[in-house]
Amino acid sequence: MTAAKLLLVEDDPSLAELLEFRFEKEGYDVRVTADGDDALVMAMEDVPDLVILDWMIEGTSGIEVCRRLRRDQNTAHVPIIMLTARENEDDRVRGLETGADDYITKPFSPRELLARVSAVLRRIRPALAGESIQVGDIVLDPVAHKVERRGRRLQMGPTEYRLLKFLMESPGRVFSRNQLLDGVWGTGSDIELRTVDVHIRRLRKAVEVDGAKDPVRTVRSAGYAIEAV
Amino acid sequence: MTAAKLLLVEDDPSLAELLEFRFEKEGYDVRVTADGDDALVMAMEDVPDLVILDWMIEGTSGIEVCRRLRRDQNTAHVPIIMLTARENEDDRVRGLETGADDYITKPFSPRELLARVSAVLRRIRPALAGESIQVGDIVLDPVAHKVERRGRRLQMGPTEYRLLKFLMESPGRVFSRNQLLDGVWGTGSDIELRTVDVHIRRLRKAVEVDGAKDPVRTVRSAGYAIEAV
DNA sequence: TAGGACATGACACTTTCATGACAAGGGCTA
DNA sequence: TAGCCCTTGTCATGAAAGTGTCATGTCCTA
């Protein structure tokens, strides 16, 4: 299981350091910045699994960062937890309405933030929390690195496994070839776009079980998705 | 678009009634019970999209309900928001660790709870949280790249899809052929004006469902619009 | 009723995708 | 270390689906 990538946007150095320490201790892969614009750049370059965003930061404001993350295709679905010192309900609601998934009011204990991060990740990316994912009749166990369909064990290469896992984390959602390259092969991989097709085909072949239908949907001129069949 | 089904487990009658009223006003399909065991039965019988669970209820305790929901295959993935009167951090953390997706501390405003429900649903089923576009009986889910009408899945080419999406983003508004070329084909496309007519026709054919009326309105010497029928 | 505007079917042309083949690389074993 | 097997990225090819244009028919309106 690869570590979950967190992006922490916090301009109080001591708090940032404390949180970074705690999260790394929990096995997360943490990057930190104090600046909103930096945060956006970092998020675009390497899409994190979750963003922890202080409402009051230098440069671009927290809510603006949130809005922009939501606007970009690649980061639109990254969960965001906002840190806010405000008691004001309007701000909390506005944060949630802007697209934040959760907020936590300062002062908070690191432990509670950890619990929230874990809860959000579990909801969004069960595989990161070590839980198995199920889509239709396909079950993927990230801990055992096993895939089963209708009780039968499936055999596939490492790339097909990662591709399947990536797709299963967002069932039904269509990913472009570029998104798949970023998500499965890693940002900045220098791979031919069409190579994705080939791996999709290998994946299709790997999940073939007697009379079961193909769970991989091709969306012409858009990409691929996996769905319950 | 079918309404999101909520299950509200709350034993304070006045609060339950208030919430039920607010949620139904927002278009949710709400069922209410005051009892933990009832809640489990109801959840098994008709799996809700989200559970709002009071921590302190009669019968089986909230946390126990949470645990059991998580244990059953059918309800394991249903998001849970816990309502708690306790300030105690341990309880909050324990709730999250047990599998609740979120909690909210009493007293809270219905508005905030609504925002949280919406935020959680947005994650789980984008189509339920208003991320899909709906015009009349046509529902377009941009994330899954799917279009449905009266529950039936529609099939169309990429251009028709983009055209439909563009029109549905401004229901009722009339677009000239030039505007459509700019918006759907991209500015600077060197396409014959009349080609729009052809794609409109293909779109019309694609959204044909048994006896449903044509949602595409032709405005003579002006352009086209889509409207609820 | 004439003239313009729109609808429709046909068709040739493009784009996009599925598939099989293949060579390069890596790791493991004998 | 040579040989073998598995994985991987790329390419060529054929099939399928989608696209733009035109000619013709139909409708509407002044």
Flag whether pLDDT at A150 surpasses 80: yes
Whether A160 sits with its Cβ under 7 A from any strand D atom: the answer reads yes
For residue A105, what pLDDT is reported?
Answer: 80
Mean pLDDT of A76-94: 77
Q: Which residues of B touch A225 (CB under 8 A)?
A: 144-145
Whether A188 sits with its Cβ under 7 A from any strand D atom: the answer reads no
Q: B93 and B129 in contact (C-beta within 8 Å)?
A: no
Between the alpha carbon of residue A84 and those of residues A15, A101, B82, the distances in Å are 13, 13, 21
Q: On chain D, which bases lie within 7 A of the protein's CB atoms?
A: 6-12, 17-23, 28-29
Exposed e or buried b per residue across B211-226, where buried means at least 16 C-beta atoms within 10 angstroms of its C-beta: eeeebbeeeeeebbbb
Q: Which of A116, A123, A221 sits opposite B123 (nearest CB)?
A: A123
Q: Give the chain B residue whose CA is nearest to the CA of A77.
A: B123
Structural domain A5-128, CATH architecture? 3-Layer(aba) Sandwich (3.40)
Task: Summarize pLDDT for A160-173 with one digit per residue, the tens.
Answer: 999 999 999 989 99
Q: What is the distance in angstroms measured between the alpha-carbon CA of B167 and the sugar C1' of C2?
A: 34
Nearest nt to the B221 alpha carbon by C1': C5
Give the separation between CA B86 and CA A24, rounded to whole angstroms: 30
Task: Summarize pLDDT for A57-69 with one digit per residue, the tens.
Answer: 776 788 888 888 8
Query: How many residues can be counted in chain B?
Result: 229
A92 touching B (Cβ < 8 Å): yes
B219 touching A (Cβ < 8 Å): no
For chain A, give every domain's residue range: 5-128, 132-226
Spans of chain B, pLDDT less than 50: 1
Q: Which residues touch strand C (CB under 7 A)?
A: A 194, 197-198, 200-201, 204, 218-223; B 194, 197-198, 200-201, 204, 218-223
Q: Determine the 3-state secondary structure of B111 from DSSP.
A: helix
B125 touching A (Cβ < 8 Å): no
Q: Which of A93, A101, A122 sits opposite B111 (nearest CB)?
A: A93
CATH 3.20.20.70 fits B133-226, yes or no: no
Between the alpha carbon of residue B100 and those of residues A84, A116, B198, the distances in Å are 22, 10, 51
Q: B37 and B12 in contact (C-beta within 8 Å)?
A: no
List the one residue out of A170, A218, A215, A229 whose CA is nearest residue A196: A218
Q: Give the chain B residue whose CA is nearest to the CA of A80.
A: B119
A97 touching B (Cβ < 8 Å): yes
Q: On chain C, which bases lie within 7 A of the protein's CB atoms?
A: 4-10, 15-21
For residue B128, what pLDDT is reported?
Answer: 55
Domains B5-129 and B133-226 share a fold: no
**In this complex, do A119 and B111 lie within 8 Å of one another by their Cβ atoms?**
no
Give the separation between CA A27 and CA A4, rounded to whole angstroms: 8
Three-state DSSP string of B195-224:
HHHHHHHHHHHHCCCCCCCCCEEEECCCEE
Helix orientation angle between A89-98 and B110-124, rounded to the nearest 10 degrees = 20
Task: Summarize pLDDT for B50-71 with one digit per residue, the tens.
Answer: 999 887 776 667 788 888 888 8
A132-226 fold: Arc Repressor Mutant, subunit A (1.10.10)
Q: Which residue has the higher pLDDT, A117 or B85?
A: A117
Q: What is the distance in angstroms measured between the alpha-carbon CA of A78 and the sugar C1' of C22?
A: 40
For residue B182, what pLDDT is reported?
Answer: 94
For residue A107, what pLDDT is reported?
Answer: 77
For residue B130, what pLDDT is reported?
Answer: 55
Which B residues, 65 through 84, put their C-beta within 8 Å of a C-beta on chain A? Answer: 79
Q: Which residues of A touch B109 (CB under 8 A)?
A: 89
Q: Which residue has the higher pLDDT, B102 or A48?
A: A48
Flag whether pLDDT at A181 surpasses 90: yes
**In this complex, do A225 and B145 lie within 8 Å of one another by their Cβ atoms?**
yes
The alpha-carbon gap from B11 to the nearest alpha carbon of chain A, in Å, equals 25
**Exposure on the CB side of residue A121, measured as CA atoms within 13 A:** 22
Structural domain B5-129, CATH architecture? 3-Layer(aba) Sandwich (3.40)
**In this complex, do A89 and B96 lie within 8 Å of one another by their Cβ atoms?**
no
For residue B1, what pLDDT is reported?
Answer: 47
Two tokens at B62? 């909230």
Give the separation between CA A203 and CA A214, rounded to whole angstroms: 10
Task: Summarize pLDDT for A182-208 with one digit per residue, the tens.
Answer: 999 988 888 999 999 999 999 999 999
Two tokens at A131? 């839980």
Count the neighbouring beta carbons within 10 Å of the beta carbon of residue B182: 15
Q: A200 and A170 in contact (C-beta within 8 Å)?
A: no
Cβ partners under 8 Å of residue B220, min gap 6:
none
List the one residue out of A83, A45, A107, A125 whose CA is nearest residue B89: A107
**Is B172 exposed, middle or buried, given 0-12, 13-18 or 19+ CB atoms closer than 10 A?**
exposed
First-residue to last-residue Cα distance in chain B: 15
Query: How many residues can be counted in chain A?
Result: 229
